[in-house]
Structure formats: structure tokens, C-alpha cells
Amino acid sequence: MKPLKPFRQSNDAAAHAVLVTPVGTPVVSDPNPYAGVKYDLSGGDVDRSPAFDPTFDLHRKHILFISVGIRGHTTPLLRIAEDMVRRGCNVSFATHDSGKEWVQRTGARFVSAGAFPISAEVLRDKLQAITRDASNFRGILNMFNDIYIPTAQPMFDALFPVVSLDPPDLVVVDIATIGGHDLVHKLGLPYLVNSPSILFDIGGTPSYVPAWGTGFSIHMSLWNRCMNLLFPRLLSVALTPPFMQLQLTPYRSQHDMFKGARVLVNTAVGLEYPRPLSPLVELVGPIIPLDAFNESASDAALPPLVTQWMVGDDGLHGVIYVCLGSLSYIDAWQAQAIVEGLSNPNDPAYRVLWTLPNDQRGALPQALPPTFRIKVMSSTFPHLRLLAHSSVKLVISHCGMVSAQEALVFGKPILCLPFLVDQPDVAARVVDAGAGLVLDKTHFTAEEVRQKALVLLRNASYARNAARVGAALRSAGGIERVTDIIASTLQFGTHHLTPVDLKLPWHKVVMLDVWAVYAALFCSSVVFMRIVGILIMQGFIMPSTPETAKVKARRGRAADGVGKGNLTVEQKRRICEKHRSTPKITQKDLCRWAMLEFQLSKAPTQPTMSNILKHEHLFRESVGGAAFDLSRKTIRPTKFNHFDQALANWVLERHNKVNLTGDAIKEKGRELSAQMGLEGKLAFSNGWLSSFKQRHGFKKLGMPKVSSINNNPMAMNLIDPTSAAALITPVMDFKLPDELTSVHIKELTQHYALKDIFTMDETGLFFRISPHAFADHDNLEVHFAQESKLTVALTVNADASEMLEPFIVGDVYPPKDWRSQSAEKLGFNYVHNAKSKMTVFIFQNWLRDLNARMQFAQRSILLLIDNAPSHIVVGLELSNVRLIVFPPTMGLKAQPMHCGITTAFKCRYRMKHLAHAIDRNEEGSADIYSVKQLQAMQWISEAWREVPKEVVINCWRKANFVAAYHGEPVTNVEVLEKSTEDDLWSMLYCLQLGGVINIKELLNSRGENDVHKQLNEEFFDEPREAMDEFKALDNALSVSQAVADVTGEDGVGGGHVGGEALPTLQEHLDAFRTVIRCLETSAPDPDEAQSLAEVLQFLKKKQLGLRLNRASTTTFTL
């Protein structure tokens, strides 16, 4: 039959007349209202009236329904098919074998689409993951990718030979049955699409209406409106790959997907937001059998036991019906919250009937209140008749479109608990209609369930609104409307409903040609006005004068960039140093300071200054001497930063030993890029080499000569570390001999004040290691290989007045916001590489930063370091730091750090770690030594600040390098450190490790000292990404919580005085732990800091004494 193509809506009234005749009665159709009507949508006078067939009989037409074998998708089609079978129509139903019993109960012929391609166990696991996912966007993608898409090809392969042999006259396909859509497209069959909700259409959905899948209310915020515009487009892009893999049309719009098919949407305005719709979209309302609306019949159809329980005479107020669907999997905590919220003894009592699948019963609490009844979900249970019962007062639903509409049709308010796909959308519409309230599946409580259920039960407006929405849904027609549309489609087709914009060329739809004409007219008018303006101004040109000549000159200089005031990298670095040294300075004052300091013609703007401070880390990493082009005005970060640093590190290491050519660097770059998986991504050209050398300050790559360097007072005196020292002298010409001794160093230190003599040394730290590892001597190396380690560089001057922030090297990427924070704010500097080791590249950056700080402070200092493999200073030009590298002949004790400073630091860190372990053990934690890296770095900063100045000065005395320190080391300092080690032993004793662990190994383990990158060691891997290591710490424990945790059952030493119970030892420990934590996490005023430290020290001494008392009288297991 030739299909009709009028633009009006089809003759559904005539179709309805066909359907309402009793079975067996001859069918007589009304005259065709479109006979003789002619429409021309393509420019020609073409007759598009349908070929009317007066003998049309719906009962002779074969209708095929296709759906995936999932209950929520088959239910509407099964109800339609059952109604058409009762009318005597020829109906077949194709679904998976799991739905065969459902189809047979309708009386339709079953067509097998094969077994469901996903096993029940796998399907359950996938639905559980989707239900628990907090992101509905990911849930939609996973639903398509893991469930809908995998069913498409098997269904197509199973149905294609059957349907192609006996094509039906019309196919009705479920929206999610992708294999069914592909089938009808391949065979060219006319079909309808059944959808529970209005689909998203990139070009058709108004932006002011919440898009499908967003879960937004109609009252959207600005951010919601922004996301509402992006959501369908992002979803379309994300769904394109799986659709293209199946050679299907990408998920863009209704017309592209369904090729002009008519869409039956199972909702209506009243629940759905009003909007303009395509003529191809029909809002037919919920698909509910007509006999379900007879309440008396409903009561009779319910099982007698259920009816008797629902209308019991025990004084209860009614029934709350809980049904969360078959696809949503509820967790135990959610079930517990619902049960507790609906069984509060202080509230009016209601019976609660909960239906759920059999495999979800394990999520319910073991003991249920007597008012609860659990019913296993079954296709034979009269679900609709239960909803129609007058005793049901409230429905708790997952808000699938079918379930929510069934509740509303019978006037029941809904407490919504949406889980996946379109359920948040339906819940938002229910709330906007005033027919219910919503719970967030990720974090609702029993009290929230209780409060919202009481509101819905007590406020009659929710029931009235639910009844109003239900009446609107029923008025849409439901099954009767669907059968009318099926008959209309069979008789008249759907081409007459296709919007005109789908038939016109795209440039006419978007009016591109019209806008082009407007643009041409506008440009022509602008050109005309410009010409007129020039002609008018030529009549008013003033003669040239000296003043106008000056103006032209200034304009010329501005055009050449003279006097613009653009800041160089060096100037930006100095601005950052000024800001670091003067934290309270405002950005406006910093702008004025920069204008005066750099003699700029105008001050930088405040946004410019804010941007400079935001990117302080870039300028700090680019500091250096004349080797760097500090006149440049921008820094371009490299695309492959890890590769760039690895190659620069290799150059710096080899530069100290051999002559390097540009070809050697390029060859090593190719080798490294292949090993790092970057082969083909970098072009090792001469231009790349030039940029690389300029970026890292490699001007000349020949091996330096000692004689030429010594003659340059501003150059580094580079001497082989095996025999001498390396130094720079910015303020005096003092030569050191080639064979360096302690006498020579002492002679040099006489020219510097104590505050300007510094030393730096690196040490490793297994920051979360268990002390048990040090007791297992046979497997010590195995333990060390598995432990997380940090390299800590400590720097202090000779009078201990400046203990610089610890410089920490780790193997985890730091948070992005750390880059904009200074070391003073964090308490430490942090860098990272794959092995947590000090490299030449990192060391030189640290040294440049130290030189920049001293340059800004206008100080010249002396720095003493050992000859570690990473301490290579080739190419550095330091203006304010004079460097001495100890030769190996002087031994370890030449370094003041090795004389006890490092040990004192580690002792204090271990005490913090062990105190934390004891706290966790008392709280019952399993892994008591576990600690996040951020916490460890904060402990490092605190432990370094707690090293007494007397200990530092005493170690400088032992090294015997400073002329001002003479005589024997101070004895009372050693006694002080012995007392600290005794406290450390006491903590080990509290952990039952006293006498088992050697404290010297704990404080100076050989396994921790491998902290420098060796010459033949390559770092190909990038640092780890583990944001959990940098989560914000929350160690504060509320006093009320602490009191609630104290039970006294395991304490010792309790008693009574005057009838009142004395606190037990355990209660004492809990109280001490709470107070210490509160004080440690508080932020005292600077004037109170010293007093707070003394109080904390006193409390910790007392706490340690109590723990020793407990350890001596009780036994506990780690």
C-alpha cells in the first residue's frame, strides 16, 4: 500500500473506529479524510493523497513486537500485545528465551531471539556496579556498553532469517532493543518505537528543559543549565564508538536513529514538562491494563492473606509499599536505613510490604519489625491491584518510568530512591509535580527516610498532586491510544508526519543563505561608511608641528615595543622572591615596587601580578646564572617533561667527565625516547638541540679546565671530587690548594660569619616502615626493597639560626595546587622522580634556588657538601654561594650532619611515627604503622624544627671546621640526646619491641642511605599517581567522641573514692590522646607557640609514662 505524505496528523479517529468493534464483526472504515488533498513540499505539483482502501481490516495485518528479555522493557509491549490479541489481531512477540513464559501468558505467538547473551551472574554484577556508581553519566554509558550493545548482534542474527521469510506488516520495537532497530532498518520494514520517556535530541530538545539523563529539576541553576547543554552532546560522543562498531547510526537525534519512525512515549504532559514536539512523537501515557482501574475487582484479585493483612484491625494507619525494581541492586546499609526509618516507635505505625527479587533478600536486615512483610518479586503477583488498594498510603520506588506512573495513576505519593539511567529524571519530575520527595542513593540516613515519609503521609497536598498527575496520565489514552496509532500507521503510514525541516537542504534549514545576504549588506555598509569618514577627515587635517612630531615618535617607539614594560623571566623571579620574603605585602604594593625596582614606565597590573605569583614554580625552576637567557619574557613548558629532565640529567653527569657533542646528545635522546615509549614523537633536529641547550643553560659542552676557571672569580672552581674541592668566591679572591684538608677549610671559614656558613646533606627515610623489619636481619634487604622511601635534604648554618625547610624527594606526583604554594606555607619543598633519589638536575635546581634566595637577601654564604654522585656543579655560575665539596679522604665525620644532626632528626621522626602507631593500636586499628606520605612530610618538617640548636652547634664543634668553635663538645647536649633515645626505647617497649630492635639501626640504617642516582642508573618510569597519599589530614578527635569511646572494660587500676569511680588506665590514655591531638591540630598565636610546645612536651612525657605502666602490666597483640 502506497503510504500517505500529508503534513497533518493521521486519521487516528478512523483507526479507533476500526478497533472498538467486537471481535468477528465486519470492519467498516470511515471515508478517507485525505482523499483528493494535494501537497507539494519539494517544489512540484505532486499528488500526495493516500490510496484509500475501503476494505482495510486490522485483523488481517501481522504485527510483530520486539524487545530484549529484561522485564522493565518487555512489560509495556506485553500489555499492548495482550490487548491486541483480545481484539482478535494477528500478533507475534520476539524476545529472548527467558521471556517465553511472559509472552505465552498474553496469547501472542512467541518468536525466539535466542538465549540472553549475558549470564545471570554477570548481569547481576554489572547492574550492581551501575547501581552503586555515583555518576549517572557513567551509569548510562555502562548500561549501553555492557548490556544493551552486547545483545544487539546476537538478536539480529537470530531474528533475521525468521523475519525475512515472513515479514510482518508492522513492527513495534522497544527503545533499548538495538538489534531490533538494526533488523527493521536492514529489511526496510515499517515500525514504531516504544519509549518510556522523551529521548534526547541534540537539535530538537530546548535547552531550558532538563535533558534526558541529567536528573535536573526544571528549576535549574546557572551551572545546571551549562551542564544541561553539554550533557546530551557528551553522551552522544561517548556512545558513538560502540554504535559505529556495530555499523549503526550514531546516537545523535531521533530522526537519525529511527529513520522517520513514529515514537510512542509512555508519559504525558502533567508529569512531563511541556515543550514543542515533532509530529512523529506521540505522548500516549502509561501502558496499564484497563481492568486494573476497577478497585473492587482489584481487592478481589489480591490473595486473601494479603488482603486480610492490609486491612487488619490492629489500629495501624495503612500500608507503605516498597518496590525498588528488578534492575536496581540495593546495598545492606540502604536497606537498614529504610527499615529503621519506617519503624520508629514514636511515629504512627504503618504496615510495610516490600517486594524485591529473590537474589536481593540478603541485603535486608536479619531481624525485621513485626509490621514488615517481604514478598519475592514475581510476574504473577497482582502488583497493579495492590497499588489500587485504598489502604496503600505511600510508595517507596526506584522511579523507573513504569513503576512511578503506576503509583501516580492510582494517586499514591512517592518517596523516590533513583539508582540508574532515567530514574533520576523521573524522580525530578515527580518532585517538581509536588507528588513526592527524593532520597540520594549515595548518602541518605534512616532519619531522612523517617522525616520525608512522615511529610508525605501527613501532608495531604502530596496525595492530591499525585491524583492530579495520575488523572493527566490516564487522559493521554494509554493502551487504547496505542492501538489507535498502530491502526493509523498500518492504514496511512508515517511519511505525512515527517517535519518539513527534515526534507529541506541543510543550508535552508539553518538559513545560511539568508544570513550570508545580511552579512554582505552589513560589510558593504561598513566599507561605505569608512570611505565616507576618510573623505570627511581629509578636509580637517592639521599642519605638522613639533608637538605632533613628538606624538608620532612616541607612537613609533610603542609600535617597536620600546617602553612597554614587559617583564623578563629574571624580573618575574625577583618579584616572586620579594613576595616570599615579605608575605604580608599586597599585590598592589608589589606592582609599585616592581615599577621602581626595574625602572618601568608604568606599574604592572594587578592581574599580571596575580598570574606571576600563580606560576611561581616556573620561575623558581628557571633560576640560574649567566648560562640562562634571563632576558627572555616567557617560559614554555616542555610537552614531555619527564624525558626532558632525564636527558638533562644525563648531560650534566657526563659533562663532568667527557666532552659532549651535539650529535652525542641527540643520539642519547633517541635512545631515551625509545626506552620511554616516545619513539617518533620527537624530532631530534638541530633546532630541537638548540632549544634544549638554551632551556637548560648548556652553552658550551666541552669539559671545563681547572686553570681557566680559577682565573674567573665568578665561575665555579671545578676540581675532580676525588682529590680536591669545588668553590665559587663572589666577594674575595681566596685560593684553595688542590689537596684540601680541614685546616684549609677552617682558614676559609674565618672570612664568614657563623650565620653565613651552611652545610647540606641528604638522608633516606623509610617513612612507614615497621620496626619489626629491623629485627629480621636475614630478610632486611627484602623488607627495604618493599618499603616506601623519601630522600630528605637538610640544610643548617653554623649557629643554628637558620634551619632551611627540608627538601624532600618522593616518587609520587604531588597535587596540582602545591605548585602555587611556597615552602614556608607547606613547611618543606617537594620534588619527585621514579626512584625518590637525588639527581644532578634536582640538586642544581635546589642550588640555584638557594643562590637566588641569598642574592635577594644580599648575602654571600659558604656551603659545605660531600662528594655524592649527584653533587655535580658543572656549568653553574653562582653569585652568592661559595661551594666546598669534601674530598673522600676526609671521611664521613667531616660532614657536620654525620656528627649527630641527622641522627637527632631521625630520632624525633621515629618518635612521632611510633607515637602514632601506639595511638592506632589503642584505637584497635589493624595496620598500626600505616601512614600517608603527606603526614610523613609534615612529621619531617616538625621533627627538623624540634632538633635543638645546642645539638646542631655541638655537631659543628665535632666537625672542627669553624674557627669560632674550639674546645671539646658540650657534654650536657649528649646527655639530652641520650634522654631522647631513652624515650624512643620506651615507645618500643610499649609496642613490646624493647630489647628486640637495635636503636642505632633504627636511626642509621644502611638501607636508607642509597639516596643518590648513580652514573649508570637510568630512570625510565614516571613517578606514581597516588592522590590518596596527599589527602588532607583530620587527626582531631572530638572530646565527646572520646568520652563515648571510653568503656573502662579493659582498663587496669580502677577504683572508688567516696563512692565515685576513679578513671581507669585506659580512660587516662584516651583522655591524653584526645587532648594531645586537639592541641597539635590547633593553630596558636606566635606568642603562645613556645608555651604550647612546653605543654605538649609535658603531656607526652606523662602519656609515655602511662603507656610504660600499661606495657609492664598487660599483654596485647600487634
User: pLDDT, tens digit, for every residue of 941-978?
Assistant: 999 999 999 999 989 888 888 877 765 666 566 777 77
Instruction: Look at 598 and 319; give whichever has higher pLDDT.
Output: 319
pLDDT at 872 over 70: yes
Does residue 232 contact residue 200 with C-beta atoms inside 8 Å? yes
Top-ranked range on mean pLDDT: pick from 465-469, 553-557, 781-785, 1035-1039: 465-469
Q: Which residue has the cell 636481619?
A: 777
348, pLDDT greater than 50: yes
pLDDT at 737: 58
Mean pLDDT to the nearest integer, 426-450:
93
Model confidence at 863, in pLDDT bands (50, 70, 90)? very high
Q: Please, what is the end-to-end C-alpha distance for the chain in angstroms?
A: 84
Scored b (16 or more CB within 10 A) or e, 232-248 reads beebbebbeebbeeeeb
**Angle formed at CA 605 by CA 601 and CA 606, multiple of 5 degrees:** 145
Q: What is the band of 1041 on the pLDDT scale with cuts at 50, 70, 90?
A: very low
pLDDT recorded at residue 1010: 79
Produce one character per residue of 935-966: b if its CB has 16 or more CB atoms within 10 Å, e if not.
Answer: bbbbbbbebbebbeeebbbbbbbbbbbbeebe
Is 727's pLDDT higher than 50?
no
Q: Which residues contact 22 (CB under 8 A, 6 or more apart)?
A: none
Please report the pLDDT score of residue 892 as a whole number. 67
CA distances from 718 to 655, 657, 863, 873 (A): 12, 11, 15, 7
- pLDDT recorded at residue 1116: 39
435 by DSSP, 3-state: which?
coil
DSSP letter for each residue of 802-820: -BPPPEEEESBPPPGGGGG
Helix axes 136-143, 120-132, angle to 10 degrees: 160
Most confident range, picked from 844-858, 1052-1066, 1088-1102: 844-858
* Rounded-to-integer distance, Cα 14 and Cα 31, Å: 8
Residue 794's pLDDT is what?
A: 95
Q: What is the mean pLDDT of residues 450-459?
A: 92
4 — pLDDT class (breaks 50, 70, 90): very low
Calpha distance 261→502 (Å, rounded): 13
The band of 825, judged by pLDDT with boundaries at 50, 70 and 90, is: low
Structural contact between residues 59 and 19, judged by C-beta atoms closer than 8 angstroms? no
Most distant CA pair in the chain: distance in Å?
126
Element (H, E) at 1060: strand 1060-1061
pLDDT at 205 over 70: no
pLDDT level of residue 806 (50, 70, 90 thresholds) = very high
pLDDT of 549 strictly over 50: yes
**Residues comprising the chain, all counted:** 1118
Which grid coordinates belong to 555? 607612537
Cα(412)–Cα(1098) distance, integer angstroms: 65
What SS3 state is found at 353?
A: strand
Between 729 and 384, the more confident residue is 384
CB 745 within 8 A of CB 961: yes
Instruction: Tell me what pLDDT residue 17 has.
Output: 39
Q: How far is the C-alpha of 473 from the C-alpha of 492, rounded, in Å?
A: 27
Count of alpha carbons within 13 angstroms of residue 255, beta-carbon side:
17
Better-predicted residue by pLDDT, 280 or 12: 280
Is the confidence at residue 418, as pLDDT, over 80? yes
* pLDDT tens-digit readout, 520-531: 999 999 999 999
Q: Is the pLDDT of residue 492 over 70?
A: yes
562 has pLDDT over 60: no
Mean pLDDT (the chain) is: 76
**CB-based burial label for 431 (10 Å; 0-12, 13-18, 19+):** middle
* Residue 49 in this model has a pLDDT that exceeds 80: no
pLDDT band at 37 (very low <50, low <70, confident <90, very high): very low
Dihedral over Cα of 273, 437, 403, 147: its sign: positive
What is the pLDDT, as a whole number, of residue 188?
87
Average pLDDT over residues 817-844: 75
pLDDT for 498: 76
Residues 6+ apart with CB under 8 A from 516: none
Q: Please indicate whether residue 367 or residue 716 has the higher confidence score (pLDDT).
A: 367
At 961 the pLDDT is 80
How far CA 231 is from CA of 137, 138, 214, in Å, comes to 8, 12, 7
The DSSP 8-state label assigned to residue 293 in this structure reads G
The three cell numbers of residue 1088 are 603562645
- Residue 755 has what pLDDT? 92
pLDDT in tens, 307-344: 878 877 666 778 999 999 888 888 999 999 999 999 88
Mean pLDDT across 972-994: 76
What pairs with residue 794 in β-bridges? Answer: 761
pLDDT tens track for 633-674:
666 667 677 677 778 777 777 666 667 778 788 888 887 777
Q: What's residue 1056's pLDDT?
A: 43
Under the banding of pLDDT at 50, 70 and 90, the label for residue 923 is: confident
